[in-house]
Structure 1
Amino acid sequence: MVKRIGKLRFNWRTLMMMCLAIVILPVGSAFAAVNKPFPQHTTYTAGSIKPNNVTQTSMDNTVKTKWDAWKAAYLKPAGTGKYYVKYNSAGETVSEAHGYGMLFTVLMAGYDSSAQTYFDGLYNYYKAHPSANNPYLMSWKQNSSFQNIDGQDSATDGDMDIAFSLLLADKQWGSNGTINYLQAAKNIINAIMDKEINQNQWTIRLGDWANSGSYNTATRPSDFMLNHLKAFQSATGDVRWKNVTDKTYTIINSLYSGYSASTGLLPDFVIYSGGVYKPAAANFLEDANDGNYNYNSCRTPWRIATDYLITGDNRALSQLNQMNSWIQTKVGGAPGSIKDGYKLNGTVFGSYNSGAFYAPFGVSAMTSPSYQSWLNSVWSHTASSSAEGYYEDSIKLFSLIVMSGNWWTY
């Protein structure tokens, strides 16, 4: 028996096979409903701005193009049902990169039809690599054979992004499928509070290992993900997260007033000494520039400004605006002149025009119409930039997502 429907011909056997195929699709597959498809065009805080030298469609298309390139270069299979983010030529990965991948895939759903498949594969990889200190936190580094290396403990920034991405996944696809995203988010959020927050100081630790000596009270401004902290409180009802948010804003302003009043720059690492928070000394953890604006803190204009754009919290607005004015003047309005490293007084020591440094300044420039021309320049420079490496390309893509109005929160 054949039935004509419009211009298409269906026979009942074909129709039954199609229905069966739909029934046997795994719950939580890439065919789940997408509730917040890209692009989102979020309305940010009143008075904030977006680039106005290009159309919204052009901005959306730039993000799509950069995402396609990022995915092709860095998102890789890691065995059956798993994906990971290849962060260097040796095929290694770190939890920071993993958090980035989970955020990108949930944000690009709707444009990328495989987004949930990638996200779930990244989630499965995260679950397969727990920290020895808490199974809900991620072991921070793996080699190309997906074996944990350099200690089976955590890095807080990766865990925070993974947790936030799971909250977004709950909003994007719901939590009634194969993975209960909301419960998974609460599990890692509670683990972060337990192991990665100093509950005497209410500061964000460097990882679940940093619980003794000077490391116990140290913190890292690139982990100041204030929008994440507020989402964690909203999702769990745990009011302790407000303590962390408040303390984080206090530290930002203490560093700004005490060490970078002319630039607004924040250091890579911060220590607590003599009752105050101050830039870390050289070689505190990574290298001689641990107390300068270097490859960690270059992310702070994006991380901190995003909370203002989403929530209107203006407690860091003075610091952000000082930084905006300083960098625009420092490079004469030319993003191509930004270098990869500054002392907190504004002295340059870097020599390379890294996307990890110039792109985040576009996000902070969104705080005021007085930076419109500067924002336009940073957008154009970032949008037309060539591929660099995992780290630079990730930060450029995040910055473009926020600048185009396509960031959203839990």
Structure 2
Amino acid sequence: MKSLRVAAAGFALLLTYFAGAAAAQEFPFGSHRQSYADDVLKPKGKQKALDQKVAAFYAEWKAAYLRPGCGAGQYFIKADTFSGATVVSEGQGYGMLVLALMAGEEPDAQAIFDGLYRYYLAHPSKVDPNLMAWAQDADCHDIMGGDSATDGDLDAAYALLLAHKQWGSDGALNYLAGAKRVMTAMMASNVVSRTNLTNLGDWVTLGKSKYSFASRSSDWMPGHFRAFAKKGSKDWKDVLAATRKTAARLQTTYAPGTGLLPDFVVDTDATAKPAPKGFLEGETDGSYGYNACRDPWRFGVDAALSGDKTSTKIARKISAWARKKTGNRPGKLRDGYALDGSPLVEYQSMAFVAPFSVAAMVDPDAQKWLDALWTSMVETPAEGYYPDSIRLLSMIAVSRNWLTP
């Protein structure tokens, strides 16, 4: 770890050469200047102790997954994925979020953020070059089609708005202009005008495949859409409304006892429903799997910061089911469920455990559950790029260190 810190410090000097002197952050980690909605829960313990636990896990995450390389002034997040990709746009989005949120705790946050963004810019999608090609190999070459995946660009745009909030946009990289460029591209290439829901990526051609009116529930990020409507096009208000309406309807129709959402949703132009088995990725495409496991975080963080009633209801329903299902024991959670709550496997990871902590913040009966989830997040050893990134972002949210642009 010491050698990595030395290398990172040296690389930060190189980035300073490219970007100029770093600006002081306006909302440093641990300052808690961002307000949360009334009556939002947080884990028991002193705030300083909570922040220290987040900072400690950030240091682990950084040592394990943050890498310089692929080009002058670039950083990437090393993603150990089943697909064989070394880097994915999802990971770049996570990394950009983390660095914008950990500024202050991380002394080189702006330099590293700029390096992640430079990598993002260096790998444009072959379909819409204002978005990122979703996967690269160990030699930094685009692979698997060279097109986009919606979630990575959504997180990158939100992170760029946070960077503008933290450091302004008068330096070598104009974060606000970059965010607006990505938001405009996503509205054109990732939002289906007939439904106002996100598609699976810029590779989907409307009306020419079975994927034309399909969406991932994990791409439904109401907090992002709320920010995009304020900082970009007002059309994002329609995306926000459609997202909440569709999620609530799916809960009522297909998961009345659990509130769980499926990985993939089809027929969004008519009556949205869970995807059939084998629709895109496998047998669990219509179940609560490795995509949808992020939903409690996405809806929960919006509910916690905006106080939105619909997001709160959606997150609270999932949280109430989870704590009753497990008797407030996170160790009983499993990596995947049918929408009726039947477990699909007999193992677990933080990819599924951690997001429930964010939803628990807006569940008034969940203090014991939230405390148990926090302990689990703090005490579980590192597991890998995907669960660890989701865990870190969830810990940032529940420790009240999330930010809105």
What TM-score results when the alignment is normalised by the length of structure 1? 0.91
- One-letter amino acid of the structure 1 residue matched with residue 234 of structure 2: V
Specify every segment of 5 or more residues in structure 1 that has no aligned partner in the other structure, as ranges: 1-21
Deviation at 1:319, TM superposition (A): 2.9
For the pair 1:199 / 2:193, whether they are aligned, the reply is yes
The answer for the alignment partner of 2:59 in structure 1 is 68
Distance 1:177 1:274, change over 3 A: closer
Q: Once the two structures are aligned, what percentage of the paired residues are identical? A: 43
SS at match of 1:325: helix
Distance in 2, Cα, partners of 1:260 & 1:30: 52
Does the CA contact (< 8 Å) of 1:299 and 1:360 recur in 2?
yes
Is 2:262 the counterpart of 1:259? Answer: no
Contact 1:29-1:117 within 8 A present in 2 as well: no
* 2:30 alignment partner, one of 34, 39, 60: 39
Partner Cα distance (1:298, 1:202) in 2:
23
Distance across 1 between alignment mates of 2:303 and 2:59: 29
Over the aligned positions, Cα root-mean-square deviation in angstroms equals 1.6
CA offset at residue 136 of structure 1? Answer: 1.2
- Which residue is equivalent to 2:275? 280
**Shift in Å, 1:57:** 0.9
Inter-partner Cα distance in structure 2 for 1:181 and 1:222: 25
From 47, 61, 76, the equivalent of 1:84 is 76
Q: Which residue of 1 aligns with 2:172?
A: 178
Native 8 Å contact 1:39 1:406 kept in 2: yes
Question: Alignment partner of 2:173: what SS?
Answer: coil
Query: What SS is found at the alignment partner of 1:80?
Result: coil
Q: Which range is displaced more, 202-211 or 260-269? A: 202-211
Confirm or deny: 8 A CA contact 1:214 1:272 kept in the other structure.
no
Q: Residues 5-45 of structure 1: CA distance to partner in whole angstroms, max 9, x if unpaired?
A: xxxxxxxxxxxxxxxxx9xx658446311111111323211
Of 345, 360, 365, the residue aligned with 1:350 is 345
Residues 165-214 of structure 1, C-alpha deviations (whole Å, 9 max, x = no match): 10000011110000011001100110000100001111111100122333
Alignment counterpart, residue 313 of structure 1, candidates 308, 331, 336: 308
Name the structure 2 match of 1:18: none
Structure 2 residue runs without a partner (length 5+):
1-12
1:339 to 330, 334, 341: 334
Matches within 5 A, 1:216-295: 216-236=212-232, 238-272=233-267, 275-295=270-290
Map of 1:14 onto structure 2: none
Residues 224-257 of structure 1 show CA distances to partners (whole Å, capped at 9, x for unaligned) of 1111111111112x22111111000111011001
* CA drift at 1:333: 1.1
Paired letter, 1:407:
W
Structure showing greater Rg? 1
**Does residue 327 of structure 1 match 2:322?**
yes
The answer for the alignment partner of 2:394 in structure 1 is 399
CA contact (8 A) 1:131 1:140 kept: yes
Of the three residues 343, 368, 374, the one matched with 1:373 is: 368
In 2, Cα distance between the equivalents of 1:378 and 1:38?
22
Deviation at 1:384, TM superposition (A): 1.1
Q: Deviations over 1:121-169 (max 9, x none)?
A: 1111111100012211000000000000000110000000010110000
Instruction: Say which SS state the counterpart of residue 371 (structure 2) adopts.
Output: helix
Letter in 2 for 1:344: L
Partners in 1 of 2:316 and 2:303 — Cα distance? 12
Structure 2 SS opposite 1:84: strand
- State the TM-score, normalized to the length of structure 2: 0.92
2:50 is the alignment partner of 1:59: yes
Q: Contact 2:299–2:314 (CA<8 Å) still a contact in 1?
A: no
Using the TM superposition, give the Cα deviation of residue 273 of structure 1 relative to its aligned residue in structure 2, in angstroms: 6.4
